[in-house]
Chains A and B, each alone.
Chain A
Amino acid sequence: MKISIGVLIVILIILIISLGSVAAWFAKIQLYNSARPISSFVFLIFLMLAGYLSINHVREGGEIRVREIPAFSAIEEGVTRSVEMGRPIHMTIGFGSIAGSMAPQYIAGLGVLSHVARLAGKYGARLIATLGVPEVIASVEEIVKEGYASGGRPELFDPVYNVRYLTDQQFAYASAVQAIIVRERVGANIVVGPFYAESLIFMEAGNMVGAFQVAGTARETQIPFFVLAADYAFIGEEIFAAGAMASGDKESLASIQGQDVGKLATIILIVLGILFLAFGINISSWLNWVWKLG
């Protein structure tokens, strides 16, 4: 029953999209922008294929080697330090709406949160997860509850204490989070997700109470604050790798490998492009090639 309703909803959505496309075709509404270069589409297909092949590789029993990320290993150190000091751990994934280009960062933050919750359960630490993303309140509650259960201490889970939704408005959220960090005198402050101007506020609050700080974001304008103020920082895409490592899901790691193939292809294209320049061939113009329909 459960699966059949789910499948029905998915089929319904696919049907609506398909019918909409057919209707657009008949109504002569142009769906494809012929002024855009085709290279980005080709690269996107290449990335999808690389991701698909990597996932297939792990499904068939293949192993994926991941390089060490110091900030990821430091999380356990932060949790144990908090337990020794008798202080709680604070973790936040950010504020805003999950529907947007920041969604992967929130999901990476949730992956790290599940890791932190597991460690909190394992070592018997008090965890405070603050958030400003209304769509994930129930998910965060579930993640923390499961973390404590898998860590062997389900009795420590208290939704009112452990999960605190504040608001999705930036500075109101920031003022409440900094107050929680200071008032609760947290032993470890773990901040992973998409962050904006509030990043340094959180780091300063953690610094005021001498917390061990692990922070990361893929928003390049905020990385400097985390690199400077945190004890350990995830730089840019490291949060996605950390999220995948934390989840322990091999398919998530495989998608990271797919992205790595894309990065390798980019390096090769840059090196080849520069070598071709020596022979007077500019591949930059190839990348701008537009496929004119009709």
Chain B
Amino acid sequence: MVSWEIIGAWIAAFIVIWIYSFAFRDNVFYKLAEHIFVGTAAGYSIALAIDSLNRVAIKSLITQPTVSWHYIIPIILGMLMFFKYSRKYYWLARYGVAINVAVGAALAVRTIPMANIIRQIQAALTPLWGSDPIKLVNNWLMFLITVGGLTYFLFTIFPPKPAPGRTSAIYTLYRALYLIGIYGMMVGFGALFANTIVTRVGFVISIYLIYLQPYIIATIIGVILAAIGILIEVRRRSK
């Protein structure tokens, strides 16, 4: 007997194959998978939002109004956002968005100076002298790339370029640090890129093992359908 689990697994295998088929060419099965995906995601978001509003705010307001009365404030702020569609009162929506952004920024500001500034300064404070050559090179690289990276991101404070034929020690130092910063970052980006690609290859393998390999017939049918979709698209374009 065919169970809901089997039907779900077949649909999953089809959708995985059809989404991957986009790498070859857009086709009718990719469109189907895409619209199912976007529609489901949008519906899921709305359901989640309504459930969250009901569970967190409305139920608490009804059952414990003396404790949860302050939930009225975010509800009002949220409702203000609907004024975007009023020609006369559209400006009221700005308060909802502004407070939303401000609260997010305030929460972030709470931890960012410590994590992104103070801890980084502390990590960069390493001696640039000593007997261990490996450690010494490492410390110098750390110092130069940190200071160089910071110099690269100075957008408004930088020495003026000297006139042709003239030299400026500050400008030369600035350019040297700027270049060290950008090349240091490029090396870092290369390492990050390789690391992410390796992780993604792991994702592909796990998707194959979970969704495709156990339902190989569904996978083959999905591939055949995707191939037909691509051929139809090729013919349509050639006309």
Q: Which residues of A contact B (CB under 8 A)?
A: 2, 5-6, 9, 13, 16, 36-37, 39-41, 43-44, 47, 64-67, 69, 98-104, 107, 134-139, 166-169, 171-173, 175-176, 178-179, 182-183, 197, 220-221, 223-225, 227-228, 235-238, 241, 253, 256-257, 260-264, 266-267, 269-271, 273-274, 277-278, 282-284, 287-288
Contacts and interface: CB of A to CB of B under 8 A. Distances in A.
B189 A227 contact: yes
A102 B108 CA distance: 9
B113 A43 contact: yes
A224 B196 contact: yes
A189 to B, nearest CB: 16
Question: Which of B41, B108, B124 neighbours the largest number of chain A CB atoms within 10 Å of its CB?
Answer: B41
Interface string B94-116: 01010111011101110011100
A58 to B, nearest CB: 11
B159 to A, nearest CB: 11
Contacts of B108: 100-101, 103
B97 to A, nearest CB: 6
Given A175-B19, A270-B146, A287-B122, 5 more contacts: A69-B155, A102-B104, A167-B45, A183-B26, A270-B124
A274 B127 contact: yes
Contacts of B186: 227
B125 A241 contact: no
Contact of B147 (A64, A261, A262, A267): A267
A283 B26 contact: no
B206 interface: no
B157 A257 contact: yes
B11 to A, nearest CB: 15
Contact of A266 (B120, B129, B196): B120
B179 interface: no
Interface string B1-35: 00000000000000000010010001000110110
Given A44-B109, A283-B125, A6 B95 contact: yes
B167 to A, nearest CB: 20
Contact of A262 (B19, B31, B117, B152): B117
Contacts of B156: 64-67, 253, 256-257, 260
A226 B178 CA distance: 20
Contact of A101 (B97, B104, B120): B104
A81 B225 CA distance: 37
A172 B92 CA distance: 31
B113 to A, nearest CB: 4
B150 A263 contact: yes
Given A260-B157, A274-B125, A43 B117 contact: yes
B34 A179 contact: yes
A269 B186 CA distance: 25
B158 interface: yes
B62 interface: no
Given A223-B189, A235-B185, A67 B155 contact: yes
B224 interface: no
B73 A16 contact: yes
Contacts of B189: 223-224, 227-228
Contacts of A183: 26
Contacts of A277: 125, 127
A98 B150 contact: no
A97 to B, nearest CB: 8
B147 A270 contact: yes
Contacts of A138: 84-85, 90, 93
B118 interface: yes
B42 interface: yes
Given A101-B108, A274-B128, A135 B81 contact: yes
B192 interface: yes
Interface string B134-155: 0000000001001100111111
Nearest to A183: B26
Interface string B32-47: 0110011011101100
Given A224-B196, A274-B128, A98 B109 contact: no
Contact of B104 (A69, A99, A262, A282): A99
Contacts of B33: 175
Contacts of B127: 274, 277-278
Nearest to A221: B192
B91 interface: yes
B196 A221 contact: yes
B171 interface: no
Contacts of B19: 175
B193 interface: yes
